[in-house]
Amino acid sequence: MAELQNDRFLRALLKEPVDRTPVWMMRQAGRYLPEYRATRAKAGSFMDLCKNKELASEVTLQPLARYPLDAAILFSDILTIPDAMGLELRFAEGEGPIFDKPIKTQADVDRLFVPDMGSDLGYVMDAVSTIRKDLNGSVPLIGFSGSPWTLATYMVEGGSSKQFGKVKGMMFEQPKMMHQILDVLADSVTAYLNAQIEAGAQAVQIFDTWGGLLTPRDYKAFSLDYMAKIVDGLIKEKDGRKVPCILYTKGGGQWLHQMADAGADCLGIDWTMDMADARAQVGDRVALQGNMDPTVLYASPERVRQEVKSVLESYGKGEGHIFNLGHGIHPGIDPETVDAFINAVVDYSPEYHK
């Protein structure tokens, strides 16, 4: 493997000194880029794109050709694990993901298994190793997975949801059954992230998109405890270098002090919390990633630059900040506005590291 030329992102995750704040963007390879839309059309479907290692690598590298980003993130989907468990994932136009065999009964739960990372999810590992090779040491590669709770919401609901009535109903009425699902998922996610690390991922992120739906008690029992179990089981070092782990719970700002105890190196922060408050809560225990509101990118480049300054100021001087959006970039954003965002971080952040 080529030697890493830019390790700013990895060093910031470990709260080591950097010359400027590293920046990457959730969903940075995606629909806002015309070149992505062209590659997706060539692939035929979203899952065909995920399963073609050359095309998955192509779209992963597209934003790096445009912007001075400090990390690449594997192009894949969070629902690959439940798909590999036999729930039959498909993407319907305008509807998002749909599982043709959602979990409804105890018998459905009993059929769940930890997928084989080589045969069932080998296409993801092929993509990781191809991307790592194609990056040629330019920036680190981030691997990722959905959290057990977030994966369970899709598996029980059968797709996206607004009320989450089925999954929360099961959690309240049949907690034992829900814990059984989450146990299998925690084992699967641990194996999945470790396989990504073995294939070449240099950091990993756990996306807990729907943890913020829960009460504080239920968040700990049904989401955080399982993420802590995963973090505990991860490969911690590869090729003589630490492999950092990021935990991100959308809407999880009120639980940062508990999240900081889960063993991860960094916490992702959404836009509903001030970075100064987040930093005050966690102290020096973990690095922080975030947290510009993604919808700021609908504003003018001048306004975007102003917002970047504001987030940097809120975090303040010192190490341990990775600049990112508070959630993924929206599909309709102008790539020129993204250029203003990324370059503003590059221009304004060095003074915070003197």
Catalytic pick among 8, 11, 20, 40: 40
Catalytic pick among 37, 66, 77, 298: 77
Q: Which two tokens stand for residue 101?
A: 């065999």
DSSP-assigned states of every residue in 37-60: HHHHHHHSSHHHHHH-HHHHHHHH
3 state DSSP class of 255: helix
Told to judge if 40 belongs to the known catalytic residues of this protein, a careful annotator would answer yes
Q: Is 305 annotated as a binding residue?
A: no
Q: Is 352 annotated as a binding residue?
A: no
What is the Cα–Cα distance from 130 to 56, expressed in whole angstroms? 9
Spatial contact of 267 and 245, defined as CB atoms under 8 Å apart:
no
Catalytic pick among 11, 27, 132, 279: 27
Q: Is 321 annotated as a binding residue?
A: no
Q: Is 94 annotated as a binding residue?
A: no
Q: Which two tokens stand for residue 157?
A: 């609901």
Q: Is 179 annotated as a binding residue?
A: no
Told to judge if 77 belongs to the known catalytic residues of this protein, a careful annotator would answer yes
Q: Is 31 annotated as a binding residue?
A: yes
DSSP-assigned states of every residue in 300-333: -HHHHHHHHHHHHHHH-SSS-EEEEESSPPPTT-
**What contacts 35, CB < 8 A, 6 or more positions away?**
62
CA dist 68 to 2, 43, 295, 297, Å? Answer: 19, 27, 21, 17
Q: Is 27 annotated as a binding residue?
A: yes
Q: What are phi and psi of 33, to 5 degrees?
A: -95, 125
Name which of 92, 93, 94, 61 is nearest 75 in CA terms.
61
Told to judge if 67 belongs to the known catalytic residues of this protein, a careful annotator would answer no
Q: What is the DSSP letter of 212?
A: G
Q: Is 330 annotated as a binding residue?
A: no
Which residues belong to the active site?
Answer: 27, 31, 40, 77, 154
Annotated binding site for substrate: 27-31, 77, 154, 209, 327
Annotated binding site: 27-31, 77, 154, 209, 327
